[in-house]
Amino acid sequence: MDNYDVIIVGTGPAGMGAAFSLIEKKKGAKILMLDKKPFSTGGMRNDCKMNFTFPIGFPLEYWEENIANKYLDEVTRFLKPVFLPKKNIDMYKNRATRLGCSLLDIKQTHLGTDGGLELIKKLQKELDEKGVTLSLGEEMLEIDNRKKVIKTDKREIGYKTILIAPGRQGFHFLQNVMRMLGISYIDNIVDIGIRVETRLEHYPIVKDYYDPKFYFKEKVRTFCTNSGNAHVVKEKYATARGDIWYSVNGHAFKQDESRNNGLVNFAILKTVRFTEPLASGQEFAEHLGLLATLMGGGKPLMQRVGDFRLGSRSKTSTFNNDLYDFKPSLADCCPSDISLAMPSKILRYIWSAMKNLDTIVPGILHPSTIMYYPEIKLYANKPDYKDKNFQVAEGVFFAGDGAGTSRGITGAWASGIRASEGMEKYL
Ligand SMILES: Cc1cc2nc3c(=O)[nH]c(=O)nc-3n(C[C@H](O)[C@H](O)[C@H](O)COP(=O)(O)OP(=O)(O)OC[C@H]3O[C@@H](n4cnc5c(N)ncnc54)[C@H](O)[C@@H]3O)c2cc1C
């Protein structure tokens, strides 16, 4: 059996943050990083727009501002971001305040999907040079923490301490691990919403502020704005029973005037929290995802704002080459009526947010704007953590979006560093 001092499961930013921090803290430690994907991956591959201002990416149940800032400083020192310039922020802020909404002023950088790939290659090379063993295309399946052994699809591996950071798509896997370790958890929160796609001239704020973070009433917010060479994509999910559903998402390639498609996309999400009776946010979201996939004949749904306002479904013929029209960047999507698929309370708040947004930045309610549904964020596993370093059992740590300690690249990286400080004492 192979033995390592440290196993890190997941090569996303949470895993990276922990790996680089541990190399610094414990020179010579034998570290293995595993990823089930055949390339060093994680969410840094998608768009790689990074936010460096609290509270973006830091769930408030685990992070106070001064603590998050301490780790953000470390992430900044390591990644050396070049922050994007911003303009006219006070004007937008004042307009938002007048409507009872707010605009957060966030330090951001954007590498793009292609730029993220370059960064990943560089980080991977650095890890290799520092002696970290990277095993890609190897999936962790089980854990026995009494024997300090994990089982992968290839072998058994011993450890002194382990970080499990499988991201949002590892949600079910993490829940299985928690059952194996006897750790109690809840997952009562989920974000549900739409992705908006429109022409750049209908959301010109992105020229002043790359990813504007608007907060509206009833826990609705804008999220993950992409522009330039920007695309809506679909992500495939499977329920525990193996039924397939899709969520949409968005990304952009790095800025290059010659390749721009003239489109902008961003999410508008509503946070839903279940209390009494306590329900699983994951299962609730899955039911919505399955309903949309059923209505879309196996695809997510899209509807033009013009059709939505008139209460009619969008049809294939709606997406033509009309003068005011543009081609959806996600072609594999079904023209439909999202109000048939979305719970009315969520839809009402999202539509209200869109009207507010259209008053702050006039344009997004243009009839050609597309609303894609569903966009769902499943990052609300809340394990019973034993300490501030996200330890769940003797020597076992969780971090990142799947474990609920982050909601974005920088927060995930910071969570990895924070977990590594707890792991250090097992070495
Ligand atoms: C399309 C898209 C665009 C995004 N854009 C941005 C953005 O611009 N800015 C931003 O801040 N955030 C963005 N995000 C979110 C961001 O990617 C996540 O917040 C972040 O990557 C979370 O980091 P993580 O380390 O927790 O998980 P991940 O980055 O998801 O990494 C987890 C890794 O664990 C691996 N894994 C899972 N299960 C196992 C297992 N059993 N065995 C071995 N390996 C396993 C996975 O293959 C994966 O590589 C985007 C996400 C998507 C999907």
In this predicted model, what pLDDT tens digit does every residue of 280-305 receive, in sequence order? Answer: 888 899 999 999 999 999 999 999 99
Q: Which of 81-85, 92-96, 413-417 has the lowest mean pLDDT?
A: 81-85
- CATH, residue 19: 3.50.50.60
Q: Is the pLDDT of residue 61 over 80?
A: yes
Would you place residue 41 in the very low, low, confident or very high pLDDT band (cuts 50, 70, 90)?
low
Cα–Cα dist 338/342, whole Å: 6
Among the candidates 358, 377, 396, a domain finishes at: 377
Task: Give me the mean pLDDT over the 55-68 stretch.
Answer: 95
Query: What residues contact 345, with CB distance under 8 A and at least 6 apart?
Result: none
pLDDT value for 52: 96
pLDDT value for 212: 96
- Among candidate residues 103, 4, 8, the one with its CA nearest the CA of residue 412: 8
In this predicted model, what pLDDT tens digit does every residue of 214-261 receive, in sequence order? Answer: 999 999 999 999 998 999 999 998 888 899 999 999 999 877 777 889
Query: What residues contact 129, with CB distance under 8 A and at least 6 apart?
Result: none
Q: Both 69 and 181 in a single domain?
A: yes
- CB distance 175 to ligand 1 below 6 Å: no
Q: Both 77 and 217 in a single domain?
A: no
Task: Give me the mean pLDDT over the 265-293 stretch.
Answer: 92
Structure tokens at 390: 């996200």
Whether 100 maps to a domain, the answer reads: no
Whether 102 maps to a domain, the answer reads: no
Task: Give me the mean pLDDT over the 149-162 stretch.
Answer: 98
Q: Is the pLDDT of residue 39 over 90?
A: no
- CB distance 156 to ligand 1 below 6 Å: no
Total Cβ atoms within 10 A of residue 38: 9
- Among candidate residues 391, 424, 426, the one with its CA nearest the CA of residue 405: 391
Whether 96 maps to a domain, the answer reads: no
Q: Is the pLDDT of residue 27 over 70?
A: yes
Q: Is the pLDDT of residue 323 over 70?
A: no
The most distant pair of C-alpha atoms in the chain lies apart, rounded to whole Å, by: 67
Q: Both 178 and 243 in a single domain?
A: no
Q: How far is the CA of 206 from the centre of ligand 1 (A)?
A: 25
Which 3 state secondary structure label does DSSP give 246? strand
Give the domain range for residue 125. Answer: 2-83+109-186+381-426
Q: How far is the CA of 105 from the centre of ligand 1 (A)?
A: 25
User: Are the C-beta atoms of residues 202 and 305 closer than 8 Å to each other?
Assistant: no
Whether 323 maps to a domain, the answer reads: yes
pLDDT value for 236: 92
- CB distance 404 to ligand 1 below 6 Å: no
pTM: 0.87
Q: Both 49 and 168 in a single domain?
A: yes
Lookup result for tokens 């080459």: 321
Q: Considering its fold, how many domains does the chain have in total?
A: 2
Q: Both 201 and 274 in a single domain?
A: yes
Q: Both 181 and 211 in a single domain?
A: no
Task: Give me the mean pLDDT over the 54-82 stretch.
Answer: 95
